[in-house]
């Protein structure tokens, strides 16, 4: 509910100002004020957060306002009707008034009663602005624009039945400037309500009247004749018109409410034919059509105009007077801007006229000097033409030189490109040579490995050859021994008898021939194996 906090900020500032000491207030005092505001809003325990808010025990008004916005008013529903907002504003204003009333009621000579002063205080807070003090930028002050204060004073004067002097108020406003509360109340009491003939009840009624206009947003009130819903008779009621509703009571005391008609942008008002004594008009709502009447034509026109105005300003969650104040501020700002622009434009025109006159005089004085300098300028022109021709020739020469430089630069670029191309080719050839060298190294390593492997195999073959030679030699020795043995046996056989020799020869021939043949075959096999191994070793090498 940012709008609610914005509406009651001025009242809260006055309560804060009554508690502060050197622009700060202790948290213990602010907890009481926060608890009262929270109770009015049906929020309990909102003051407990002040203990943990900020590290210091004292808060400035900006810090306290920040706490109220984020910890108190943010807990309210976002969509609240205008009557509820108005009721919240009234309760919070009363709490703040209890805190600061003693300070704000103090004055030398009082004219208004305390209740009237409270109502004027609410009107002042409604129309005033919270701004930084010109003398102390860390301090705030609530001030009322002279035009807004003039509207309140004019309403009060009209309600008292006095004559309003706009020129006198304009002079007073220009001399005082922006009104603070004390100056505003002193001007109303001392200038417009100091007449001894004014009764206290008249002052109370006048304050109540302007309170209804500014705070309650009452556009118009008075007696009206209303046609009943069941019976067609016209009955008189005291009617109070606000932007959101038309409420009617039994009497002007407004104690017994008889009904309430909601007014919105979908309502319309139309005049209807009367019977000569009663001037009738109709209020048409989406649910029902209401018929009213007045005793004269003028009153009917006033009520029709007021009802149409109420339907036009019924929308929105902000009060009619607040919107009207914003509109006046906008119009005033535009008028001030236009006035400043007009004043600046007039000043500019005066300065321009004076400057033109001075310039004309200077031109008249310079005219003679120009005539004298004209001849000098002609001579200078001739010299400049010569210099121009020389400069033109120099530019032509410069262009020729630049063309030559461009051609040389182009050739240099071509050469540079050719060098870069050659460098790239050289780098490519170096890379290829490096790759070939790397491959050659790999191949050489493989050949060395094969060479080492072949050398090892040759060594193994030589060892095997030596072993086979040894075995062959042993076999040859064995064969030699066998041949010697065979030869000895042949000699012995020759010495035996022929028969025995023949029989024994036949028997031995059967047993000896395989033995001899086996020895020969063995020798041949050994030689063949040795020969094959030698061939295999030679092939491997």
**DSSP letters along 389-455, please?**
HHHHHHHHHHHHHHHHHHHHHHHHHHHHHHHHHHHHHHHHHHHHHHHHHHHHHHHHHHHHHHHHHHH
Average of per-residue pLDDT across 215-244? 88
Q: For position 104, what pLDDT does the model report?
A: 87
Cα torsion for 139, 144, 145, 148, to the nearest 10°?
A: 160
Q: Answer yes or no: is 353 within a domain.
A: no
In a domain, 324, yes or no: no
pLDDT, one tens digit per residue, over 248-280 is 999 888 888 999 999 888 899 998 876 668 889
The average pLDDT across 290-310 equals: 91
Residue 88 has what pLDDT? 87
Residue with tokens 């200038």: 191
206 and 247: one domain?
A: no
Same domain, 482 and 429: yes
Stretch 499-513: mean pLDDT: 55
Query: For the domain that residue 230 is a member of, what is the CATH number?
Result: 2.30.29.30
C-alpha closest to that of 110 among 190, 168, 43, 181: 190
- CA-nearest of 91, 51, 44 to 67 is 51
- What Rg value do the Cα atoms of the chain yield, rounded? 64
pLDDT(530) > 60? no
Task: Give the end of a domain, one of 160, 191, 214.
Answer: 214
Residues 257 and 387 grouped into a single domain: no
The answer to whether residue 96 sits within a structural domain is: yes
Q: Residue 145: count other Cβ atoms within 10 Å of its Cβ.
A: 19
pLDDT score at 516: 39
pLDDT (mean) for 99-117: 86
Same domain, residue pair 443 and 516: yes
What is the average pLDDT value for the chain, to the nearest integer?
Answer: 83
Long-range CB pairs of 198-206, under 8 A, 24+ apart, other chains included:
198/160, 200/113, 202/160, 203/111, 203/112, 203/113, 203/116, 203/160, 204/113, 204/115, 204/116, 205/159, 206/156, 206/159, 206/160
Please report the pLDDT score of residue 505 as a whole number. Answer: 58
Domain edge (last residue) among 318, 341, 373: 318
With a pLDDT cut of 70, the percent of the chain lying above it is 89
Domain termination residue (choose one: 198, 214, 230): 214
The pLDDT-based confidence of 513 (bands split at 50, 70, 90) is very low
Q: Could you tell me if residue 541 is inside a domain? A: yes
- H helix runs in 177-240, sequence order: 181-187, 200-214
Question: Comparing 529 with 355, which gets the higher pLDDT?
Answer: 355
pLDDT given at position 508: 59
Least confident of 124-128, 442-446, 533-537: 533-537
Of the given ranges (63-77, 311-325, 417-431, 445-459), which has the lowest mean pLDDT?
311-325
**pLDDT at position 161, please?**
83
Instruction: Please provide the DSSP assignment of 490-531 as one string.
Output: HHHHHHS-HHHHHHHHHHHHHHHHHHHHHHHHHHHHHHHHHH
Whether residues 207 and 226 fall in one domain: no
**Residue 193: band (very low, low, confident or very high) from pLDDT cuts 50, 70, 90:** confident
Which residue is it, tokens 């430089």? 405
Residue 517 lies in a domain: yes
192 & 250 share domain: no
d(CA 348, CA 355): 10
Judge if 76 and 192 occupy the same domain: yes
What pLDDT sits at residue 274?
67
> Is residue 258 in a domain?
yes
Give 361-364 contacts, CB < 8 A, sequence gap 24+. Answer: none
Q: What is the pLDDT of residue 246?
A: 92
- Report how far apart, in Å, the C-alpha atoms of 110 and of each of 40, 104, 107, 116, 539 are: 31, 12, 6, 11, 142
- CA 131 vs CA 15, 63, 92, 147: distances in Å: 16, 16, 21, 17
Global pTM reads: 0.60
Phi, psi angle pair for 294, to nearest 5°: -125, 170
Residues 159 and 307 reside in one and the same domain = no
Quote the CA–CA distance of 339 and 325 in Å, as a whole number: 20
Residues 40-98 pLDDT 10s:
888 888 888 888 888 888 888 888 888 888 888 888 887 777 778 888 889 999 999 99
Residue carrying the six token digits 């021709």: 389
Q: How many domains does the chain have?
A: 3
Model confidence at 435, pLDDT cuts 50, 70, 90, reads very high
Q: How confident is the model at residue 303 (pLDDT cuts 50, 70, 90)?
A: very high
Q: How many helices (H) and strands (E) does the chain have?
A: 12, 11
The total of other beta-carbon atoms located within 10 Å of residue 274's CB is: 14
123 and 229, same structural domain? no
> Residue 197: inside a domain, yes or no?
yes
Runs of H (alpha helix) within 68-221 = 82-104, 114-127, 146-159, 166-176, 181-187, 200-214
Q: Does the pLDDT value for residue 314 go beyond 70?
A: yes
Q: Dmax over Cα atoms in the chain, in whole Å?
A: 204
Please report, to the nearest 10 degrees, the dihedral formed by the alpha carbons of residues 175, 179, 183, 188 taken in order.
90
Whether 392 and 532 map to the same domain: the answer is yes
Contact 512, 520 (CB under 8 A): no
Can you give the pLDDT at residue 536? 52
pLDDT at 539: 47
Identify the band that residue 538 occupies on the pLDDT scale cut at 50, 70 and 90. very low
Q: Give the position of tokens 């009917």.
A: 300
Residues 125-182 pLDDT 10s: 888 888 887 777 678 888 988 888 889 898 888 888 888 888 888 888 888 888 888 8
Q: Are 220 and 305 in contact (CB under 8 A)?
A: no
Quote the domain boundaries for residue 496: 365-541
What is the pLDDT confidence band of residue 523, given thresholds at 50, 70 and 90? very low
Helix (H) or strand (E) holding 193: none
Q: Could you tell me if residue 52 is inside a domain?
A: yes
Q: Looking at the structure, do residues 421 and 464 belong to the same domain, yes or no?
A: yes
Q: Report the pLDDT averaged over residues 442-466.
A: 91
Indicate whether 131 and 237 sit together in one domain: no
């Amino acid at each position: 509910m940012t709008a609610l906090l914005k509406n009651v900020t001025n009242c809260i500032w006055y309560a804060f100002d009554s508690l502060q000491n050197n622009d700060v207030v202790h948290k213990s005092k602010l907890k009481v004020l926060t608890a009262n505001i929270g109770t009015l809003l049906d929020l309990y325990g909102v003051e407990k957060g002040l203990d943990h808010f900020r590290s210091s025990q004292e808060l400035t008004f900006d810090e306290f306002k920040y706490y109220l916005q984020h910890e108190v008013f943010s807990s309210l529903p976002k969509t609240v009707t205008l009557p509820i907002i108005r009721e919240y504003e009234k309760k919070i204003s009363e709490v703040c008034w209890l805190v600061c009333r003693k300070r704000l009621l103090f004055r030398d000579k009082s004219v208004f009663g305390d209740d009237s002063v409270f109502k004027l205080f609410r009107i002042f807070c409604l129309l005033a602005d919270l701004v930084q003090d010109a003398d102390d930028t860390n301090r705030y002050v609530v001030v009322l624009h002279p035009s807004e204060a003039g509207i309140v004073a004019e309403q009060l004067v009209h309600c008292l039945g006095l004559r309003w002097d706009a020129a006198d108020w304009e002079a007073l406003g220009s001399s005082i400037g922006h009104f603070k509360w004390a100056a505003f109340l002193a001007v109303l009491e001392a200038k417009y309500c100091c007449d001894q003939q004014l009764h206290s009840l008249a002052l109370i009624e006048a304050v109540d009247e302007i309170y209804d206009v500014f705070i309650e947003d009452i556009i118009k009130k008075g007696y009206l004749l209303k046609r009943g819903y069941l019976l067609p008779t016209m009955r008189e009621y005291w009617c109070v018109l606000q932007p959101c509703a038309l409420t009617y009571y039994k009497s002007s005391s407004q104690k017994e409410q008889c009904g309430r008609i909601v007014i919105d942008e979908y309502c319309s008002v139309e005049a209807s034919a009367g019977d000569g004594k009663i001037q009738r008009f109709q209020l048409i709502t989406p649910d029902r059509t209401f018929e009213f009447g007045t005793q004269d034509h003028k009153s009917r026109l006033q009520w029709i105009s007021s009802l149409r105005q109420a339907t036009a300003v019924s929308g929105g969650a902000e009060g009619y007077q607040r919107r009207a104040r914003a509109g006046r501020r906008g119009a005033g700002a535009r008028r001030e801007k236009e006035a400043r622009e007009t004043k600046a434009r007039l000043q500019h025109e005066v300065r321009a006229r004076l400057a033109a006159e001075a310039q004309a005089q200077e031109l008249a004085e310079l005219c003679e000097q120009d005539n004298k300098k004209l001849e000098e300028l002609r001579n200078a022109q001739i010299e400049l033409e010569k210099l121009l021709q020389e400069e033109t020739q120099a530019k032509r020469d410069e262009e020729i030189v630049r063309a030559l430089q461009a051609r040389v630069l182009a050739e240099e670029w071509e050469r540079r490109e050719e060098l870069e191309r050659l460098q790239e080719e050289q780098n490519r050839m170096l890379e290829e040579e490096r790759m070939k060298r790397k491959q050659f190294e790999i191949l050489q390593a493989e050949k060395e490995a094969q060479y080492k492997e072949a050398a090892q195999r040759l060594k193994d073959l030589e060892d095997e050859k030596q072993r086979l030679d040894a075995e062959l030699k042993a076999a040859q020795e064995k064969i030699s021994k066998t041949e010697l043995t065979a030869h000895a046996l042949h000699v012995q056989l020759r010495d035996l008898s022929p028969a025995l020799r023949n029989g024994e020869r036949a028997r031995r021939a059967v047993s000896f021939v395989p033995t001899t043949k086996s020895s020969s075959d063995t020798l041949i096999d050994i030689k063949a194996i040795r020969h094959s191994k030698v061939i295999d070793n030679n092939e491997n090498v």
